[in-house]
Amino acid sequence: MNEIQEKQKAEAFLEKITQEINDQRNILKTERLDMSFGELMTMYKEGELKINPAFQRHFKWNNEQQTRFIESLILGIPIPPIFVTETPYGDDNSVWEVLDADGLQRLSTILSFFGDLKSNDEKIKKKNNWVLQKGDRLSSIEGLKWIDLPQKIRFNIKKYACRVEIIKWSGNYDMRFELFNRLNTGGTKLTPQEIRNAIYRDISPKFNDFLLKLAQNIEFQNLVALSEKEKSELYDQELILRFLSLFKIGKKLNKSISQHMSTFMREALENEKFDYENYEKIFNETIKILLPLGKEIFRQENSVFATSLYDTIMLGVSENINLYQNENSVNIIKDKINNQIRQDKIFIKFSRRGGNNQFERVRNRIKIANEIFGKI
């Protein structure tokens, strides 16, 4: 390649990457304002600032964390910004919706301190009008509610200036999911499924309700045997979505499993002909077949739940379900799990820790599943 060709290639690359950057930047518009907490509280009371109900239950700060935050406001210590999205509402109006988990904690703390946090959840309602602990710097605030503080201090808390980062998007829900993921990478992190449920409920609650219905299957709960913490983070629903999105996909998987599940959920919501009944049937039948084998079938020797085993067994049985609907199936499946899957060198290779959810690995596990379960 001569010097002219190299220069032309470099210029073409620069043009391509510049266009790609501009296209992505045009999806979003941002604005920043400095507002007092009093103004934000007024917007919340008037319905102009919203906390998504699916996020509200993630108000997890304990009393010590809440006290430290109020103490910071009293002392004038700088705090990070709150991120919100501006969502059209009606013909000419819009509302702000809290976008980041840490901003949720800060805003919910001050709303609940002043007794203004609204919710249909009684546990959240009970967090209103909470009592301050002894502060790291202010020991005298211990045992006080907001009403017990001098009026001047209450006034200073409400007038404390908070930076608000306003993000306006083009209606692209995939990009909105990306924003949630990027903003919620620290502090009280939301799981991918918590984020999906919050975002896609804006389109329709139908698929969320469908996942919840399947997750309430007692046989499924007994088979996966998740901890209470995992359930609270909607890991049971994520496992169901994982199965539904991979069922009968074959070699079509070409993105990370997290992206794939998000796309599947969005497309299912937008598809009026999505076959909820058939997916429910195949899921329940697969669980019923596997239940006698017990919770250990999805677990490694150290009793840790393994998505590699879950994918392989669930998909292998469900995609060949006609072969496993007789009384001898339990022993046949058990033999395949213990003497083929767990001993298969290729399966072990694609199930090692690190990049376990890369689409190439998942795709290879699906292939192995059909090779092992596709014949008796």
| Better-predicted residue by pLDDT, 339 or 240 | 240
| Better-predicted residue by pLDDT, 24 or 243 | 243
| pLDDT score recorded for residue 199 | 75
Nearest 5°: the CA angle 119, 123, 127 is 80
Cβ-based neighbours of 223, under 8 Å, separated by 6 or more: 287, 290, 291, 294, 295, 297, 298
| pLDDT score recorded for residue 191 | 79
3-class secondary-structure state, position 299? strand
| pLDDT score recorded for residue 7 | 79
Q: For residue 117, is pLDDT > 60?
A: yes
Question: How far, in Å, CA of 305 to CA of 235, rounded?
Answer: 11
Listed range (234-243, 276-285, 353-362) with the worst mean pLDDT: 353-362
| pLDDT score recorded for residue 132 | 95
Q: Are 74 and 117 in contact (CB under 8 A)?
A: no
Please compute the mean of the pLDDT values over residues 8-20 and round it to a whole number: 83
Given pLDDT bands bounded at 50, 70 and 90, which one contains residue 36? very high
Please compute the mean of the pLDDT values over residues 45-52 and round it to a whole number: 87
CA atoms within a 13 Å half-sphere pointing along the CA-CB vector of 311 = 26
Q: Which of 130, 136, 366, 96 is nearest to 251 (CA)?
A: 366
Given pLDDT bands bounded at 50, 70 and 90, which one contains residue 172? low
- Percent of the chain predicted with pLDDT > 70: 86
Question: How far, in Å, CA of 197 to CA of 211, rounded?
Answer: 10
| Better-predicted residue by pLDDT, 189 or 230 | 230
Q: What is the largest CA-CA distance in the chain?
A: 79
Q: For residue 150, is pLDDT > 90?
A: yes
Give per-residue pLDDT as tens, 73-89. Answer: 999 999 989 988 887 66
| pLDDT score recorded for residue 177 | 65
- Percent of the chain predicted with pLDDT > 90: 44
Question: How far, in Å, CA of 218 to CA of 33, rounded?
Answer: 49
| pLDDT score recorded for residue 118 | 87
Beta pairing class for 82-89 and 161-169: parallel
Q: Which of 269, 49, 321 is nearest to 164 (CA)?
A: 49
- Spell out the domain ranges in the chain: 3-183, 206-373
Highest mean pLDDT among 18-27, 205-214, 343-352: 205-214
| pLDDT score recorded for residue 364 | 84
Nearest 5°: the CA angle 367, 369, 373 is 125
| pLDDT score recorded for residue 56 | 54
First-to-last alpha carbon distance for the chain, in angstroms, is 57
Q: For residue 28, is pLDDT > 80?
A: no
Q: For residue 184, is pLDDT > 80?
A: no
Given pLDDT bands bounded at 50, 70 and 90, which one contains residue 328? confident
| Better-predicted residue by pLDDT, 191 or 246 | 246
Given pLDDT bands bounded at 50, 70 and 90, which one contains residue 222? very high
Q: For residue 111, is pLDDT > 90?
A: yes
Please compute the mean of the pLDDT values over residues 44-58 and round it to a whole number: 76
Q: For residue 356, is pLDDT > 60?
A: no
Give per-residue pLDDT as tens, 263-295. Answer: 899 899 889 999 999 999 999 999 999 999 999
| pLDDT score recorded for residue 58 | 61
